[in-house]
Chain A
Amino acid sequence: MIEVTKVTKRYGEKVAVSDLSFRVEPGVVTGFLGPNGSGKSTTMRLILGLDAPNSGRTVVNGKPYRDHVAPLHEVGALLEARSVHTGRSAYNHLLAMAQTHGIGRRRVDELIDLVGLSEVADKRAGRFSLGMGQRLGIASALLGDPHTVMLDEPVNGLDPEGIQWVRKLLRKLAGEGRTVFVSSHLMSEMALTAEHLIVIGRGRLIADMSVDAFVQQASKHSVHVRSPEAERLGELVAGPDVSVDPLEPSTVEIRGLSSEQVGTIAAQNGIVLYELTAQRASLEEAFMELTRDSLEFHTSNVDSKPKVALA
């Protein structure tokens, strides 16, 4: 279990995390989602005590991380990929990590096999590809057979087979009752892996809910209607929670009502419909919709003339 309570972290003038609170429960994979630069890595560093918050506190399995007598058995973490000495072999890196807790060489060998690095275990870690580095980081996270596993963008740089492997591994770890906390900037990845989601943007909590609820809430349902009497239909359905936007002559987009409701109203009023389509935003659109206002870096719109910002 990870508990983050009212944490704020500033680096100089820049606020990286702002009054952030959430809990990560054991037994399920919890996705930590946010655009690049939204404070995910900072939050993970704060949980591990690598950085100190300006205010608030982080607790893992009941205690601040640094107060545990056997930290690696509590939390196994994959931080940014570059957290190894480039001149040391993968084997010696893992061995040195293991020795701090009296973990034996057998466990090191076991993990090297598990993550598929046997062939290159004696090579210097600096020569590793990004994917191999991720595998080494995952091995290092699992060394202490920890209660809580925290991985920062674990699938970055992995090939499709490696991504599959990580997904299975995370579900297996959660199935064993562990707390599994995984960050990503890709909603689609999280939808495949996670059951619960914590979404942040600009260091603030945006959502803390199940993946299903997130998709439900975030995707703005709308209904496209084509009808010779589109305008009259629009007037009939209009209300405080319903918006109607004309898309083109005789086609309107109605938000706030289901297609069933729109169809019923049309029938009751004898309006002919040529087309009635429920529109559903994709996961990625839903995520972008949610975090649009909190993007650190806006890209200019490629389709139309460059605008200053999308928000």
Chain B
Amino acid sequence: MTAVTAGVTSGGRLTQRRIALSEWTKLRSVRSTRWALAATLLLIIGIGIIACATFESRWPHLSASDRANFDPLSTSLGGVNLAQLSLGVLGVLVITAEYSTGMIRSTFSAVPKRLPALWGKALVFGAVAFGVSLPAIFIVFFAGQTILSGQHINIGISHPGVLRALVGATLFLTVMGLFGLGLGAIVRSTAGGIALLAAIVFVLPPILDLLPSSISNSIDPYLPSNAGRAVWTINPGAHTLAPWTGLAVFSGYAALSLAIAAALLNRRDT
């Protein structure tokens, strides 16, 4: 108020860049991040290598139909199916852990407009999810194909669609993490957020399969995880969206969850 107020630093304004830096500090300074990211790496690389090694060693004994159905790309990317959950759960935790510990009050006192904090989280976590997934996916692709080359059943990176699928898988995992963040911000509870995410990814598809196929075939491709899967496969099934269309639809779900979260965040008490 008065000039007596000593030593108040000027120019220390709130900016989106600074908020993102703060969110980076928050993300790297809790254990759950390290655990979830380590689990993600392990799942992507470990499962892919095990799957490839199994096919390579069993190949001479496999039936003709098994051989016909074999897909070297999706075999090496098998771990993505589980990594989507570890990254999705970390996305949920990034926001719900703040609610369960009370940290959210500190966050919103520093960033009282609130939304910049959500965007900061999305930006930083999205970048981290991408940065961790990308090398893991390329490592498991090359390692897996090297193993498969023992039986000459490998696929090259220059094969049509392969590079797109590898980048696509990385984007898919990134968007899954952001979807988790959006869901977590909507429900504000760790258990609720994880349950919701798991239900959407793992429970919804088999439930839909209970419907007559004339109905389920037209809905199935638009389910979040199915739509997202289209971008990281080169052997799409009969009822699958085009690769980038699929990713766009999946990103739409994630964007919607973040938009709902943003609307609620502005309105709700903390």
When C-beta atoms are compared, the residue in chain B nearest to A86 turns out to be B101
A204 at the B interface (CB under 8 A): no
Contacting residues of chain B (1-22) with chain A, CB-CB under 8 angstroms: 1-9, 11-15, 18-19, 21-22
**Contact assessment for B269 and A66 in the assembled complex, using a CB-CB cutoff below 8 Å:** no
Residues of A within 8 Å of B13, CB to CB, are 69-70, 101-102
**Contact assessment for B270 and A45 in the assembled complex, using a CB-CB cutoff below 8 Å:** yes
Q: In the assembled complex, how far is the CB of residue B130 from the closest CB belonging to chain A, in whole angstroms? A: 22
With a 10 A CB-CB cut-off, give which of A48, A146, A179 has the most chain B CB atoms. Answer: A48
Residues of A within 8 Å of B112, CB to CB, are 48-49, 65-66, 68, 71
A77 at the B interface (CB under 8 A): yes
Residues of B within 8 Å of A178, CB to CB, are 1, 5
B134 at the A interface (CB under 8 A): no
**Contact assessment for B109 and A177 in the assembled complex, using a CB-CB cutoff below 8 Å:** no
When C-beta atoms are compared, the residue in chain A nearest to B21 turns out to be A99
Q: Give the docked Cα–Cα distance between A269 and B98 (Å).
A: 74
Q: Give the docked Cα–Cα distance between A141 and B194 (Å).
A: 33
B42 at the A interface (CB under 8 A): no
A84 at the B interface (CB under 8 A): yes
Binds A, one of B29-37, B146-154, B213-221, B235-243: B29-37
Q: In the assembled complex, how far is the CB of residue B264 from the closest CB belonging to chain A, in whole angstroms? A: 13
B200 at the A interface (CB under 8 A): no
Contact flag A72-B4 (CB < 8 Å), given A83-B102, A96-B25: no
Residues of B within 8 Å of A93, CB to CB, are 106
Q: Which of A84, A100, A177 contacts B110 (CB 8 A)?
A: A100
A140 at the B interface (CB under 8 A): yes
Contact flag A80-B102 (CB < 8 Å), given A51-B270, A71-B110, A73-B9: yes
User: Interface residue count for A (Cβ, 8 Å)?
Assistant: 51
Contact flag A102-B108 (CB < 8 Å), given A95-B25, A145-B7: no
**Contact assessment for B21 and A85 in the assembled complex, using a CB-CB cutoff below 8 Å:** no
**Contact assessment for B29 and A92 in the assembled complex, using a CB-CB cutoff below 8 Å:** yes
Contacting residues of chain B (100-114) with chain A, CB-CB under 8 angstroms: 101-103, 105-106, 108-113
Q: How many A-B contacts if CB must be within 8 Å?
A: 137
When C-beta atoms are compared, the residue in chain B nearest to A85 turns out to be B103
B67 at the A interface (CB under 8 A): no
When C-beta atoms are compared, the residue in chain B nearest to A92 turns out to be B29
**Contact assessment for A102 and B18 in the assembled complex, using a CB-CB cutoff below 8 Å:** yes
**Contact assessment for A177 and B111 in the assembled complex, using a CB-CB cutoff below 8 Å:** no
Contact flag A100-B102 (CB < 8 Å), given A70-B13, A144-B12: no
**Contact assessment for A70 and B14 in the assembled complex, using a CB-CB cutoff below 8 Å:** yes
Contact flag A89-B29 (CB < 8 Å), given A73-B9, A100-B14, A100-B19: yes
Q: Give the docked Cα–Cα distance between A102 and B21 (Å).
A: 9
Q: Give the docked Cα–Cα distance between A79 and B6 (Å).
A: 24
Contact flag A66-B19 (CB < 8 Å), given A80-B105, A144-B12: no
**Contact assessment for A145 and B101 in the assembled complex, using a CB-CB cutoff below 8 Å:** no
A205 at the B interface (CB under 8 A): no
With a 10 A CB-CB cut-off, give which of B6, B19, B105, B111 has the most chain A CB atoms. Answer: B105
Contacting residues of chain B (62-121) with chain A, CB-CB under 8 angstroms: 97-98, 101-103, 105-106, 108-113
Q: Helix, strand, loop or mixed for chain A's interface?
A: loop
Q: Which of A79, A97, A145 contacts B8 (CB 8 A)?
A: A145
**Contact assessment for A140 and B113 in the assembled complex, using a CB-CB cutoff below 8 Å:** no
Q: Give the docked Cα–Cα distance between A283 and B228 (Å).
A: 68
Residues of B within 8 Å of A279, CB to CB, are none
A196 at the B interface (CB under 8 A): no
Residues of A within 8 Å of B102, CB to CB, are 80, 82-84
Q: Give the docked Cα–Cα distance between A145 and B7 (Å).
A: 7
A210 at the B interface (CB under 8 A): no
Contact flag A97-B97 (CB < 8 Å), given A66-B113, A83-B105: no
Q: In the assembled complex, how far is the CB of residue B114 from the closest CB belonging to chain A, in whole angstroms? A: 8
A260 at the B interface (CB under 8 A): no
With a 10 A CB-CB cut-off, give which of A83, A87, A146 has the most chain B CB atoms. Answer: A83
Contact flag A179-B1 (CB < 8 Å), given A70-B14, A85-B26, A88-B26: yes
Q: Which of A26, A70, A80 contacts B12 (CB 8 A)?
A: A70
Q: In the assembled complex, how far is the CB of residue A150 from the closest CB belonging to chain B, in whole angstroms? A: 10
Residues of A within 8 Å of B3, CB to CB, are 177
Residues of B within 8 Å of A49, CB to CB, are 108, 112
**Contact assessment for A71 and B109 in the assembled complex, using a CB-CB cutoff below 8 Å:** yes
Q: In the assembled complex, how far is the CB of residue A17 from the closest CB belonging to chain B, in whole angstroms? A: 13
**Contact assessment for B109 and A50 in the assembled complex, using a CB-CB cutoff below 8 Å:** yes
**Contact assessment for A92 and B101 in the assembled complex, using a CB-CB cutoff below 8 Å:** no
With a 10 A CB-CB cut-off, give which of A61, A65, A72, A179 has the most chain B CB atoms. Answer: A72
The 3 A-B residue pairs with the shortest CB-CB distance, nearest first, are A177-B4, A66-B112, A92-B29
Instruction: Spell out B's residues near A (CB within 8 Å).
Output: 1-9, 11-15, 18-19, 21-23, 25-26, 29-32, 97-98, 101-103, 105-106, 108-113, 267, 269-270
**Interchain Cβ contacts under 8 Å between A and B, 24 examples:** A26-B1, A48-B108, A49-B108, A69-B14, A71-B109, A71-B111, A77-B109, A83-B102, A83-B105, A84-B102, A84-B106, A85-B26, A87-B101, A95-B25, A96-B25, A97-B106, A100-B110, A126-B101, A140-B106, A144-B9, A145-B9, A147-B1, A147-B8, A177-B3
9 additional A-B residue pairs with CB within 8 Å, beyond A51-B269, A100-B111: A45-B105, A66-B112, A70-B12, A92-B25, A101-B18, A102-B18, A103-B9, A177-B2, A179-B1
